[in-house]
């Protein structure tokens, strides 16, 4: 069984507009003509998949546009209409820090369509696993507003699609983007049929917190797990957090499908994250989640590409993930891997071990108390 790969040129054409970092140029901010969320990291990953020969071993599938009635599984009709209107008017901000241009309605629907196509591929049995190279990204977008470069909540829409169309009863979302997946959490906070897990840099994003005491509400109480990690975590800290908390939670939940909002901004060169991960870590995390998928989910694993802002390193982290996901190897070797063992920060530090133990005990209690 193969790995489906879904993207679309229109995703690379998504245009947040004229920015410097995420600032409108003006005053003392010199024009830069480049929003920090630009096409480079994702396009360069796409290019590396081609030049390295990995693309030839993936099942490349065409994307489609998400339908309005599919969007309203997660987003309000008013918000969907707002995005369309903004694009018609030439562009604007869909919420908080999520600007689009005149092609934004089309690009965002195509991006979400990539995620839904990935779910279809896996649940129809046309592929074992699937990778949706989505842009704009999705995991910050909330039901009522765009946020943090994200317009529609791609991974949440994918989970809702799996439940509504294929009748799944338990879907797990494991978000390892360095920023808190607030949009995904909000989409399912009162539902137990989607277990949302976000591993992120603590307090590293605007307005929303993503602390470990945010457990969901109502029927969803206990089915939202946040692992806020301190800045500076390397492979050892992530492996510990996964082994102590993420993997046991997935094992206990027994998901029928796993969706990974896969960001690369916990990578060590990222301008918007303060973590130390490299291809070694991304390979390990992919394997770890794949192992759970093979045990509980008939191997069904879908990834949606989220953040990651270093145009040079992201392609190699992405190649690492896609090699593990597909079980195929490419001709490219990662130029950063030889440095892995030279970096002391890749080792687990005692304070990181203590934190994972605390989170493990905390969530064990949550499971005992609230899981049905």
Residues classed as catalytic: 140
Q: Which stretch binds Zn ion (CB under 5 A): 214-222, 261-269, 328-336, 340-348?
A: 261-269
Q: Which stretch binds Zn ion (CB under 5 A): 23-31, 155-163, 306-314, 342-350?
A: 306-314
**Nearest CA among 224, 292, 288, 286 for reference residue 257:** 292
- Those residues whose C-beta lies under 8 Å from the C-beta of residue 361, and which sit 6 or more positions away, are none
Residue whose CB is less far from Zn ion, 281 or 366: 281
Residue whose CB is less far from Zn ion, 263 or 315: 263
What's the length of the chain?
Answer: 372
Other C-beta atoms within 10 Å of 251: how many? 13
Q: Which stretch binds Zn ion (CB under 5 A): 65-73, 215-223, 302-310, 327-335?
A: 302-310
Shortest Å, Cβ 210 to Zn ion: 12
Instruction: Please tell me whether residue 95 binds Zn ion under the rule CB under 5 A.
Output: no
Q: Which residue shows structure tokens 């140029």?
A: 25
Alpha-carbon span 155 to 177, nearest angstrom: 12
Instruction: Please tell me whether residue 296 binds Zn ion under the rule CB under 5 A.
Output: no
Shortest Å, Cβ 287 to Zn ion: 22
Other C-beta atoms within 10 Å of 29: how many? 12
User: CA 302, 357, 268: angle at the middle one, nearest 5?
Assistant: 55
Instruction: Please tell me whether residue 307 binds Zn ion under the rule CB under 5 A.
Output: yes
Residue whose CB is less far from Zn ion, 57 or 226: 226
Beta strands in 31-190 (DSSP E): 34-35, 59-61, 91-93, 95-96, 99-101, 129-132, 146-147, 171-175
Shortest Å, Cβ 105 to Zn ion: 23
Residue whose CB is less far from Zn ion, 107 or 314: 314
Residue whose CB is less far from Zn ion, 138 or 263: 263
Shortest Å, Cβ 275 to Zn ion: 11
Q: Which residue shows structure tokens 């590409």?
A: 305
Per-residue binding letters, 220-249, with Zn ion (x by CB under 5 A): ------------------------------
Q: Which stretch binds Zn ion (CB under 5 A): 80-88, 126-134, 253-261, 307-315?
A: 307-315
Q: Which of 8, 15, 70, 265 binds Zn ion (CB under 5 A)?
A: 265
Secondary structure letter of residue 145 according to DSSP: B
Shortest Å, Cβ 42 to Zn ion: 13
Q: How far apart are the first and last CA of the chain?
A: 34
Could you tell me if 246 and 197 are in contact, meaning their C-beta atoms sit under 8 angstroms apart? yes
Q: State the number of binding residues for Zn ion (CB under 5 A).
A: 5
Secondary structure letter of residue 297 according to DSSP: S
Residue whose CB is less far from Zn ion, 122 or 259: 259
- Judging by beta carbons within 10 Å of its beta carbon (0-12, 13-18, 19+), is residue 76 exposed, middle or buried? middle
Q: CB nearest Zn ion: which residue?
A: 307
Query: What residues from 165 to 194 belong to the interface with Zn ion (CB under 5 A)?
Result: 177, 179
Alpha-carbon span 150 to 333, nearest angstrom: 31
Q: Which of 91, 138, 220, 263 binds Zn ion (CB under 5 A)?
A: 263
Shortest Å, Cβ 201 to Zn ion: 9
Residue whose CB is less far from Zn ion, 148 or 220: 148
Shortest Å, Cβ 267 to Zn ion: 10
Q: Which stretch binds Zn ion (CB under 5 A): 67-75, 106-114, 264-272, 335-343?
A: 264-272
Beta strands in the chain (DSSP E): 3-6, 20-21, 34-35, 59-61, 91-93, 95-96, 99-101, 129-132, 146-147, 171-175, 194-201, 224-229, 257-262, 301-305
Q: Give the interface with Zn ion as residue ranges (CB under 5 A).
A: 177, 179, 263, 265, 307
């Amino acid at each position: 069984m193969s790995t489906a790969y879904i993207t679309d040129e229109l995703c690379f054409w998504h245009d947040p507009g004229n920015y410097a970092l995420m600032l409108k140029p003006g005053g003392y901010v010199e024009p830069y003509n480049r929003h920090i969320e630009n096409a480079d990291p994702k396009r360069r990953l796409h290019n590396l998949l081609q030049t390295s020969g990995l693309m030839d071993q993936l099942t490349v599938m065409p994307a489609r546009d998400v339908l309005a009635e599919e969007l309203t599984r997660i987003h309000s009709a008013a918000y969907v209409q707002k995005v369309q209107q903004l694009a018609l008017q030439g562009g604007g901000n869909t919420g908080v820090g999520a600007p689009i241009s005149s092609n934004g309605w089309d690009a965002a629907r195509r991006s979400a369509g990539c995620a839904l196509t990935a779910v279809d591929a896996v649940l129809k049995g046309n592929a074992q696993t699937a990778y949706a190279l989505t842009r704009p990204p999705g995991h910050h977008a909330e039901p009522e507003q765009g946020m943090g470069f994200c317009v529609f909540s791609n991974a949440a829409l994918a989970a809702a699609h799996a439940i509504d169309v294929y009748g799944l009863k338990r879907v797990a979302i494991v978000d390892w983007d360095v920023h808190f997946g607030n949009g995904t959490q909000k989409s399912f906070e009162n539902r137990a049929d989607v277990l949302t897990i976000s591993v992120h840099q603590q307090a590293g994003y605007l307005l929303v917190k993503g602390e470990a005491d945010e457990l969901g509400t109502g029927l969803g109480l206990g089915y939202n797990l946040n692992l806020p990690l301190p800045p500076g975590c390397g492979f050892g800290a992530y492996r510990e957090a996964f082994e102590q908390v993420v993997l046991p939670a997935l094992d206990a939940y027994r998901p029928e499908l796993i969706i990974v909002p896969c960001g690369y901004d916990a990578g060590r060169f990222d301008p918007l994250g303060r973590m130390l991960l490299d291809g070694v870590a991304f390979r390990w995390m992919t394997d770890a989640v794949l192992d759970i998928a093979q045990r509980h989910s008939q191997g069904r694993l879908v990834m949606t590409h989220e953040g990651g802002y270093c145009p040079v390193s992201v392609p190699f982290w992405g190649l690492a993930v896609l090699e593990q996901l597909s079980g195929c190897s490419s001709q490219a070797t990662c130029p950063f891997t030889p440095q892995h063992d030279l970096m002391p920060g890749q080792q687990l530090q005692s304070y990181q071990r203590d934190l994972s133990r605390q989170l493990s005990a905390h969530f064990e209690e949550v499971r005992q108390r609230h899981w049905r």
